[in-house]
Structure 1
């Protein structure tokens, strides 16, 4: 029993459990992708209905995130994590036994709610356990597991579907969920309650630095997702890519993001979060227009690796900076702060494909990418300018105070 208590208090234990939770969430998210043709044929679903099925995850995730973030800050992380797992298991079993598109959509909505529990209470628990100087590296490690789950989901789902039919991928994930449930039940514990978490939670949504981070996350997610509707057709027409090539190329972006995230977290702990994310925005801005220049799949893979790495430098530092903002405002409301990240990311994932596809239709792919490039550069430079003006204003106040 003493050994179990010691394990609960060890931050590494919590990091492993949360990383496993994130991995399973993204594994289930991606495992559905190769099964989409089966849904189309079995339920005679149109492309619009399939789009709704895929997109309703982001919808429920966006709605549930601030609610579960507030509940986690007020009543504790562990309870939210456990109930989130129950919802995830229900979602997975509903996927396995669904006999209509309506039930599949309900399952996908529940999956988004379960993910919201992990991405608020889970990340907040890591922030509770790690001091500010080590948060960036820990949160970056979690993002690596997110990328691993995203990368493995589609190929594992397709392979299991071919081997054992429609239900096997979901039974496979259900086994992982049960193991994860035991880990959450016995290896997680709530940190001491912070009395002012409610008041801090209200301040978060009005804080200028938090709002600036919201913009960074939204633009980072938009810049990545803008490629999803326009590049597959471009690859097919200009590089002769087939569906497997396209999957590998997008997988390279995810792989780069996962590989860079721990490094970005480590650098943010040592060099500062703000400078790193602003530099990441500039690198991302420069790399986006390059994706239409290569004339071979190998060179295209190299450019997309750069895009994924840049996204890692943009998004990873936002997590410890949000935690730092909570500390500055009074502490405790970490789940609410990470709800800001999740909401911004969800909005970016919704806006990016719509804007990217629209601009590509009206103008061209290159124009769409140059416009995104311009927006990223303007935001990075204006954020630096605002920060400089705030510093100058503080110096003036100090000087006046001395006089």
Structure 2
């Protein structure tokens, strides 16, 4: 018992538990992807219904995030994490036994709520445990586990489905959830209550720097997801890629993001968050139009690796900078800060594919990517100018 209490006090223990929670969440998120054809045949579902099923996660994630963020700051992180685990387990069982598309949609909605709990209370707990100088590296580690879960989910789900039928992938994930649940119960504890959390939580949504970070996350997520509806069609038409090739190429982007995230966090701790963040946006702007230039799948993979790396540099520093903003505003309301990140990322994942598909239909894929490139460059440069103006004003005073 004494050893258990000692383990709870160690930041590394909390980091491992939360990283595993994020990994399992993303594993379940992507494990459904290879089972989509089964849903179409079993329930006679249309493409529209399947689209609704997939997007339900982002919708409930977006709605639940600010609510759970406020609850976490007011009543504690551990309780929200435990309830999130229970909801995720319920979602997985519902997936396994669903006999209609309506139940699948409910399961997907519950999954988004559970993810909101992990991504607000969990990341806020890391901020409670780590000092500012080490937050970037810690959050980069969590994002690596996120990428690993996303990357492994589809192939693992496909193999288990082929080996043991529809329910096996969800029983597999359920075992992981139970193990993670025991870890959350016995290895997590709430930090001392910060009386400034409520005031900081109210200020965080009006702070100019936080709003700037919101824009970075929104654009970064949009830039990644804009490729989802348009690039597979291009790869199939011009490079004769099949579904396996396309899956591997998109997996390269996720792998690159996960590999770069710890480095981006380390650099943000040492060079400054905004330097790394805006540099990432500029690299992302340059790399996006390059995805339609390669004449081979190998070169296309190299470009998509660059896209994933750029996204890692752009998005990873936003997390420690949000935590720094909370400290500047009074401290404590880290969950509210990560609610900002989650809301921006969800909106980006919703708006990116819509904008990508619409612009590609109107102007073609190359023009769609150049428009996104232009928006990224303008935002990055304008953010730098605003920062310089603020510094200049401070010097004059």
- Give 1:151-230 correspondences, 5 Å limit: 151-230=151-230
The equivalent residue for 1:358 is 358
Could you tell me how far apart the structure 2 residues matched to 1:161 and 1:4 are?
38
Aligned to 1:272: 272
Distance 2:71 2:395 in 1: 39
Give the Cα separation in 2 of the matches to 1:45 and 1:288.
33
CA RMSD of aligned residues (A): 0.3
Q: Which residue of 1 aligns with 2:341?
A: 341
> CA offsets per residue over residues 300-329 of structure 1, 9 Å max, x none?
000000000000000000000000000000
* Structure 2 counterpart of 1:396: 396
Q: Distance in 1 between matches of 2:261 and 2:310?
A: 10
Q: For residue 387 of structure 1, what is the aligned residue in structure 2?
A: 387
CA positional deviation for 1:102: 0.3
CA–CA distance in 1 between the matches of 2:355 and 2:88?
A: 31
**Counterpart mapping for 1:234-245 below 5 A:** 234-245=234-245
Give TM-score, length-normalised by structure 2: 1.00
Residues of 1 paired with 2:280 and 2:161: CA distance?
Answer: 39
Shift of residue 2 of structure 1?
1.0
The match for 2:112 is 112
- Residues of 2 paired with 1:134 and 1:116: CA distance? 24
Question: 2-side partners of 1:261 and 1:369: how far apart?
Answer: 24
Q: Report the CA distance between 1:353 and its aligned residue.
A: 0.4
Deviation >2 Å, runs of 4+: none
Q: Secondary structure at the match of 2:44?
A: coil
**Alignment correspondent of 2:136:** 136
Match of 1:400? none
Distance in structure 1 (CA, Å) of the matches to 2:28 and 2:183: 18
Question: Helix, strand or coil for the counterpart of 2:193?
Answer: coil
- TM-score relative to the length of structure 1: 0.98
Give the SS at the match of 2:13.
helix
What residue in structure 2 maps to residue 21 of structure 1?
A: 21
Q: Deviations over 1:153-190 (max 9, x none)?
A: 00000000000000000000000000000000000000
Aligned to 1:401: none
Distance in 2 (alpha carbons) for counterparts of 1:319 and 1:294: 33
1:41 is aligned to 2:41:
yes
State the distance in 1 between where 2:208 and 2:265 align: 22
State the shift of 1:237 in Å: 0.4
Shift of residue 47, structure 1, vs aligned partner: 0.4
Inter-partner Cα distance in structure 1 for 2:183 and 2:296 = 46
What residue number does 1:94 align with?
94
How much does 1:196 deviate? Answer: 1.5
Q: What is the CA-CA distance between 1:23 and the residue it aligns to?
A: 0.2
Uncovered stretches (5+) of structure 2, i.e. residues with no partner? none
Q: How far apart, in 1, do the equivalents of 2:22 and 2:291 lie?
A: 29
- SS for the counterpart of 1:258 is helix
Mapping of residues 312-351 of structure 1, within 5 Å: 312-351=312-351
Q: Distance in 2 between matches of 1:193 and 1:38?
A: 48
Report the Cα distance in structure 2 between the residues aligned to 1:196 and 1:268, rounded to whole angstroms.
26
User: Alignment partner of 2:262: what SS?
Assistant: helix
Question: What residue in structure 2 maps to residue 55 of structure 1?
Answer: 55
- Is 1:261 the counterpart of 2:261 in the alignment? yes
Displacement of 1:3 in angstroms is 0.5
Q: How many residues align?
A: 397
* Residues in 1 aligned to 2:37 and 2:240: alpha-carbon distance in whole angstroms: 23
SS in 1 for 2:45: coil
Aligned to 1:9: 9
Q: Within 1, Cα distance between the matches of 2:373 and 2:201?
A: 33
- Quote the offset at 1:267 in angstroms: 0.4
Unmatched tracts of structure 1, length 5 or more: 398-403
